Structure 1
Amino acid sequence: MSPDELTLARVASGTLDVVDAEILHRLAAIIERVDPVPAGLVDSIGLALTIDALHTEMAELRLIGAPDLALRSEEPSIEAATITFTTDVLTVMITVHAEADRVRVDGWATPPASLGVELHQGGLVTRAQSDADGRFSFSDLGRGPARLVLRRPEDPDLPVVTPQIEL
C-alpha cells in the first residue's frame, strides 16, 4: 500500500467526531437546497420495493359505474361506487358506500376462498378474512387513498395488490 492509501485506510477506520458530523450536516443542507427529493418519491420507492420483494401479482383496475369527473389528472386515485380488479389468479369486486364522513367497503373475490384481506390507508393497515364464498367487508373507514392486499391460502407469499383508489 502507498502512504496515501495507508492514511486513507487509517482515517476511514476511525469514528466520526463533532467536526465530521457538522461537515455532513452542512453537506446535507446544501444538497437538500440544490436538489431536493421530489414529493412522493420515498413512498413510491417503498411501494415499488415492497411489490418487487413480494413478487406481487398486481391487479388491473376496471371501473363499473364511475361517476362523472371521477378521474382527476393531478391524482393517481380514482373515486367510484363499484370497482373490479382482475389478475390471472383472482378477481375482486368492491362497492364503496358513503356513511356520513366515513366509508364502508364490501367485497367479493373469485374464485371463492377464504382470503386474508388487508386495506392499506397511509400507514394504517386494517385486516379482514373473507368467508368461504370470498365475501369480506370493512366499515367505519376514513376517506382518502387506499389499496387492497389479498393473500390466497394456496400461495400466501404471492399477494395480489390493487392499484390505489379513493374511498
Structure 2
Amino acid sequence: MKTQHHSAEDDAMMAMVAHLVDDLDPPPLGLIERTQFAIAIDDIDVEAARWSRERPLAGVRGGAPGTITFFVGDLTVMVNVTRTGERQRIDGWLVPAGEHGVEVRVADHGSAQTTADEGGRFVLTEVPRGTTQILVRMKADRPRTVVTPTVVL
C-alpha cells in the first residue's frame, strides 16, 4: 500500500482552492437559516409536496407573485399570492376538498393558521413576506400532514 505525501506545492494549491470556494463562490446568504427553517417542523411525520408551475418561478426569488401549485400523492394545493404593501394575501384551494387545517409558516414571523371550507378554499390575509412553507393537515380517511417546499414570497 502506497502512502501519499503532501508537498508544500500541494498545500498551496489546496489553500488556493479553499480561497476560491470560500471567498469567490460562498454559499448564498441566509442558506443556513432557510435550511433550519425548512426542517424545523414540530410534526415530523410529514409528506413533502413537489411544485409545478408553467412559467419560471418568478415569485420564488423577488419577482411578481402569482399562482403556484403543489402536488403530493392525491393532494393538490394551489395558492395565489397577491401583494398588499409589505404583506401579502394567500388564496388557496385544496383537492380533494375538505375542511383541512392549513398553516402558513414565514421565517422570523411565526405562522398563521386557518381551516379550509368544505370546498377546500382558504384565505389568509396580512401574511408577512419572506421564506414561506405551507402545511396542510389532512383530516380525510388517513390523517396526515403535507408540507410544501420552502419558497421566498
TM above 0.5, yes or no, is yes
Structure with larger Rg: 1
| 2:24 maps to 1:63 | no
Work out which of the residue numbers 94, 104, 118 in structure 1 matches 2:103: 118
Aligned residue among 56, 81, 95 for 1:96: 81
Q: Could you tell me how far apart the structure 1 residues matched to 2:36 and 2:60 are? A: 24
What are the within-5 Å matches in structure 2 for residues 37-56 of structure 1?
40-41=31-32, 44=35, 47-48=38-39, 50=41, 54-56=44-46
The equivalent position to 1:145 in structure 2, one of 118, 131, 150, is 131
TM-score w.r.t. the length of structure 2 is: 0.67
**In 1, distance between residues paired with 2:131 and 2:33?**
17
SS at match of 1:54: coil
Aligned equivalent of 1:87: 72
Q: Which aligned segments of 4 or more residues in structure 1 are displaced greater than 6 angstroms?
A: none
Identity of aligned residues (%): 28
Match of 2:118 among 101, 125, 132: 132
CA distance in 1, matches of 2:146, 2:54: 20
Which protein, 1 or 2, shows the higher relative CO under an 8 Å CA cutoff with sep ≥ 6? 2
What number of residue pairs does the alignment pair up?
123
1:166 matched to 2:152? The reply is: yes
> Greater share of helix residues, 1 or 2?
1
SS of the equivalent of 1:120 reads: strand
Could you list the runs of 5+ residues in structure 1 that have no partner in the other structure? 1-37
Q: Give, as a single letter, the amino acid of the residue that structure 2 aligns with 1:44.
A: T
Distance 1:71 1:153, change over 3 A: closer
1-side partners of 2:71 and 2:50: how far apart?
5
For structure 2, which runs of at least 5 residues remain unmatched after alignment?
A: 1-26
Note closer, same or farther for the CA distance 1:49–1:125 as it changes in structure 2 (3 Å cut): closer
TM-score when scaled to structure 1?
A: 0.62
Which position in structure 2 is the counterpart of 1:13?
Answer: none
Moved more, 57-66 or 89-98: 57-66
Alpha carbons of structure 1 residues 114 and 71: separation in structure 2 relative to 1, 3 Å: closer
